[in-house]
Structure 1
Amino acid sequence: MNDTADRKIVVGVDGSSSARSALLWAVRQAELTGARVQAVAAWEFPAFYSWEGGPMPPDDFERSARNGMDETVDAILVETGTAVSVQRDLEHGHAAQVLLDAAQQADLLVVGSRGHGSFYGALLGSVSQRCAQHAQCPVVIVRA
């Protein structure tokens, strides 16, 4: 583990109740260990999306992910009244890979047991399962 000042907990935030529980757990752990928290959200175009007139303009997917992350982080910060620093990062890509990349230099990766999911996600396996199998740091999976 790193020095206390350098400890980092990466947590996946997708707006689901499970991700909210994961963020709450990560913030509480950071309070105990002096770590900082990096909230990470990922967005991508759905498999059925078409540039010829999909259900939403391309910018709306990113905006929706950003809003979900901001609402979740803001709610947890208000609920806990914590002084823990929470960095917010939004990346385009598959959630599991985005989280694995973000957690390469982390001390801990925290994910919810079940996010929003999709048919696409069912084909590739769950995000939490992929993170648990491939992360280079310990992984905590939190149930809602």
Structure 2
Amino acid sequence: MPEAIRDPGPQRDPFPLPWAKPGLLVGFDGSAGSVRGLLRAVQMAPLLDLPVHAIVVWDYPTLIYGDAYSPEIDGSPVEDAEQIRAMGAAEAFPDGVPAWFTSSTQRGRPAHTLIELSRQAEFVVVGTRGHGGFTGLLLGSVSAALSSHAHCSVLIVR
């Protein structure tokens, strides 16, 4: 189902990225592909003299057939996103995070948010597939949308 149909609510503008000059923006969701993308960005950044910002974009679950979302039962996407963000930073930098790396979480639809944030980046880096629902796809919906609509160069890491 297209994102516009799943989430008819108004979209907020993404937060400004916390860097003085545009760098590598990494879409991170904790999947194996996003881990590979983050590690590749971390390898490239010093060579290009660019900062890296990893972002976990989250939204409330899609409800079908009137099911109710309950944070007490279903967990908190805010807390889940923060745990994923912390895990990514720890995996990329086991000995401590350098000054040129930042990370954050933001509510929104992943493809839309990353496309908008690409206006502030030199490159966007993502894995080929994230935690979407269609296993077996070679290219996920977010990476496909970015490759077509981003406002900067996109690196899709296998």
Shorter-chain TM-score range: 0.7 to 0.9
SS in 2 for 1:50: coil
Distance of 2:142 and 2:26 partners within structure 1: 12
TM-score calculated relative to the size of structure 1:
0.81
The equivalent position to 1:56 in structure 2, one of 74, 83, 104, is 74
SS in 1 for 2:40: helix
Equivalences, count: 132
Q: 1:51 to 1:117 in 2, by over 3 A?
A: closer
What is residue 91 of structure 2 aligned with on the other side?
A: 75
Mapped contact 1:27–1:84 kept (Cα < 8 A): no
Which digits, 9 at most, give the CA deviation of each residue in 1:28-50, with x for residues without a partner? 11011110001011111111262
Q: What pairs with 1:97-112 in structure 2 (closer than 5 Å)?
A: 97-112=112-127
TM-score calculated relative to the size of structure 2:
0.74
What is residue 45 of structure 2 aligned with on the other side?
A: 30
Distance of 1:32 and 1:84 partners within structure 2: 15
- Compute the RMSD of aligned alpha carbons: 2.3
* Percent of residue pairs bearing the same amino acid type: 32
Mapped contact 1:30–1:84 kept (Cα < 8 A): no
Which protein is richer in helix relative to its size? 1
